[in-house]
Amino acid sequence: MIMCMCDPSIHRSIVAVTNRRLCAQPFLEQVERICIFRPASLVLREKDLDENAYASLAAEVLAICNSYQIPCILHSFPDVAKALGVKQIHLPLWRLEDMAASRPQSLAFFSAIGASVHSVDEAQRAQALGATYLTAGHIFTTDCKKGLPPRGLQFLQEVCQSVSIPVYAIGGITLDPQKIETVLSCGASRVCIMSGMMQL
């Protein structure tokens, strides 16, 4: 079991992002390990699933997160979130734009709306559309974005300075306390970690 050697308070600056394909053990067992670690929240990402499969998995993950009182943020499927009574949703920017244009009343259900952004312009657009927090990346080199150069810490700082809502850094961030502190010092409110959380 790989553990973060940082102060436990740092755990509350970490958002766990799931990818069940990176797990070395059954996914739901891994979700429980993450909850024991006590991050600030868990984002159930699982982008390869269709809506029905995602809904089934989300119900199981929510039960685990709720038992540990870890907030679970659902991803990409606002109708699933509403059906399950989850008021936190994370959306690709294009989906947030579509919802804001076609059914803005659906967005009103959510108390927290995250959006993924990759530029200052996108960050400002997402904020104007009602996002309550952003994920900005990718900050460091990561296998999840093979062949794409990282945007770096200056990019992160510029995004943080361009909006008034919290920005979470994502991409290539590990459970290295020094790296986490460096990212937070750029103005990020939290860091998103995928691989490290899937290998706890």
Task: Spell out the per-residue pLDDT of the chain, length 200, in tens.
Answer: 444 545 677 899 999 999 999 998 999 999 999 999 999 999 999 999 999 999 999 999 999 999 999 999 999 999 999 999 999 999 999 999 999 999 999 999 999 999 999 999 999 999 999 999 999 999 998 877 677 889 999 999 999 999 999 999 999 999 999 999 999 999 999 999 999 999 99
Cα 95 to Cα 62, 74, 98, 114, distances in angstroms: 23, 14, 5, 11
Q: What does pTM read for this prediction? A: 0.94
Whole-angstrom distance, CA of residue 188 vs CA of residue 72: 20
**Where do we find the tokens 């069940």?**
20
Cα 55 from Cα 186, distance rounded (Å): 36
Is residue 81 within 8 Å of residue 57, measured between CB atoms?
no
Distance CA 200, CA 23 (A): 9
Query: 81: part of which helix (H) or strand (E)?
Result: helix 78-84
